[in-house]
């Protein structure tokens, strides 16, 4: 009895909390004391949730802490401990988002210099799925949802006129497992049929780049129908489209350049142009992305997700002076906060196009 107040006081003073997160998605809450430390809660007990941080890791919710530990409600000290620890865990994503928002709030999208043409390499669907031990197709479904979010966001920004998305490369077509490619084609076809009326209502015009004819017949026919319908709707509308969305499907930039050269050679053989007629502007018009570049110029900003830092045979001709932004976030987790970060980075860059801002002397142009 004499020792009880001392032990209670020591217990309340010595408890501290250490919440750590590793890249292996393990979450461990530790209670440390002056004499020993040790794991209190282990990550293997946590069910996966849909709460994510910017790097794609999970954050356990308060209910999960309670379910795992089974702490009785009558144990006041333990309940308070769990409440504080779970609040820290679930608020982590919110705090990171607040920091991101605050860092860019000083220059909102209405004040920033925004790109007219945005391109995106949507990388990381399969990695996102493997991280969560779900089928790869589920990663592609979540990637489709991320593209829908980005399209809606770009359509809201008056300065952004075009979005070009790398949906499927010609290398993917040749090198990915057949069952994965077939499932992805079915998802693409179902998504196009679902999104088709919504795009028209929201003033989003859809175009395609790449070898569409090599796709399955039903998907290729649907792509042609959607593109023709979008063009007819844009021509009949009294207001211009809010956004031109170009989906690069079965696309490779090198092959697109070769195909453009062949088109110009055919025109020259038919006597429709001379060698001196070929310049950058004419060559650009022969590329599969010509509709987007006519509408909004070459891409001003190219975003690639999932931590990779390469072009992967995407828009090689069009991206000569494009600003590049690489995000560690896997594509299905790419949200408005991540896009705001890319826009903020773009607004801070100085684009010289080979010149200098302080050049005062006469140039050859």
Give the span between the Cα atoms of 7 and 269, in whole angstroms.
95
Give the span between the Cα atoms of 197 and 39, in whole angstroms.
54
SS3 for 101-168 is HHHHHCCCCCCCCCCCEEEEECCCHHHHHHHHCCCHHHHHHHHHHHHHHHHHHHHHCCCCCEEEEEEE
Mean pLDDT over 149-156 rounds to 96
pTM: 0.69
pLDDT, residue 355, reads: 78
Give the span between the Cα atoms of 245 and 316, in whole angstroms.
19
358 by DSSP, 3-state: which? coil
Mean pLDDT of the chain: 78
Q: Which segment of 152-156, 234-238, 262-266 scores lowest on mean pLDDT?
A: 234-238
pLDDT, residue 362, reads: 59
pLDDT, residue 90, reads: 43
User: pLDDT category, 365, cuts 50, 70, 90?
Assistant: low
Active-site residue, 95 included = no
Give the span between the Cα atoms of 72 and 278, in whole angstroms.
79
User: pLDDT category, 121, cuts 50, 70, 90?
Assistant: very high
- Report pLDDT digits (tens) over 69-120: 333 333 344 444 444 444 444 444 444 443 444 444 434 455 678 999 999 9
Contact 51, 93 (CB under 8 A): yes
pLDDT, residue 102, reads: 41
pLDDT, residue 350, reads: 85
pLDDT, residue 112, reads: 77
User: pLDDT category, 60, cuts 50, 70, 90?
Assistant: very low
Question: Roughly what angle, to the nearest 10 degrees, separates helices 125-132 and 136-156?
Answer: 130
Q: Which residues contact 183 (CB under 8 A, 6 or more apart)?
A: 137, 140
Active-site residue, 123 included = yes
Residue 356 has pLDDT above 90, yes or no: no
pLDDT, residue 218, reads: 97
Tokens of 187: 């998802």
- Which candidate, 227, 236, 221, places its Cα nearest to that of 205? 227
156-186 per-residue burial string, b: 16 or more CB within 10 A, e: under 16: ebeebbbbbbbbbbbebbeebeeeebeebbe
Choose between 34 and 339: higher pLDDT. Answer: 339
Choose, from 97, 171, 172, 335, the residue flagged as catalytic: 172
- Identify the burial level of 303 via C-beta atoms within 10 angstroms of its C-beta, where 0-12 means exposed, 13-18 middle and 19 or more buried: buried
State whether the Cα torsion 164-167-170-171 is positive or negative: positive
């Amino acid at each position: 009895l004499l020792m009880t107040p001392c032990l209670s006081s020591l217990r309340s003073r010595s408890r501290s909390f250490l919440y750590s997160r590793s890249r292996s998605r393990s979450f461990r809450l530790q209670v440390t004391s002056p004499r020993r430390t040790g794991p209190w809660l282990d990550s293997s007990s946590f069910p996966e949730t849909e709460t994510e941080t910017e790097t794609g890791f999970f954050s356990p919710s308060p209910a999960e802490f309670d379910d795992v530990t089974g702490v009785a409600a009558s144990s006041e000290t333990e309940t308070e401990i769990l409440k504080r620890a779970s609040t820290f865990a679930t608020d982590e994503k919110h705090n990171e988002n607040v920091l991101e928002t605050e860092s860019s709030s000083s220059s909102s999208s209405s004040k920033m210099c925004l790109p007219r043409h945005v391109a995106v390499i949507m990388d990381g669907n399969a990695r996102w799925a493997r991280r969560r031990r779900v089928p790869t197709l589920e990663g592609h479904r979540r990637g489709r949802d991320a593209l829908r979010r980005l399209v809606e966001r770009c359509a809201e920004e008056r300065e952004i006129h075009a979005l070009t998305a790398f949906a499927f490369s010609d290398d993917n077509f040749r090198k990915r497992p057949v069952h994965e490619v077939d499932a992805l084609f079915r998802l693409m076809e179902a998504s196009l049929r679902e999104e088709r009326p919504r795009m028209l209502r929201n003033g989003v015009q859809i175009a395609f780049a790449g070898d569409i004819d090599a796709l399955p017949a039903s998907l290729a026919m649907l792509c042609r129908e959607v593109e023709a319908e979008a063009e007819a709707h844009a021509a009949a509308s009294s207001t211009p489209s809010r956004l031109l969305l170009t989906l690069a499907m079965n696309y490779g930039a090198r092959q697109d350049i070769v195909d453009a050269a062949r088109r110009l050679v055919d025109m020259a053989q038919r006597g429709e142009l001379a060698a001196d007629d070929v310049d950058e502007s004419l060559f650009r018009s022969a590329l599969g992305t010509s509709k987007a570049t006519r509408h909004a110029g070459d891409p001003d900003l190219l975003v690639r997700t999932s931590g990779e830092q390469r072009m992967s045979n995407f828009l090689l001709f069009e991206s000569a002076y494009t600003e590049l932004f690489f995000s560690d976030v896997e594509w299905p987790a790419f949200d408005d906060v991540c896009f705001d970060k890319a826009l903020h980075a773009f607004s801070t860059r100085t684009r010289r196009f080979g010149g200098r801002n302080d050049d005062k002397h006469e140039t050859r142009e």
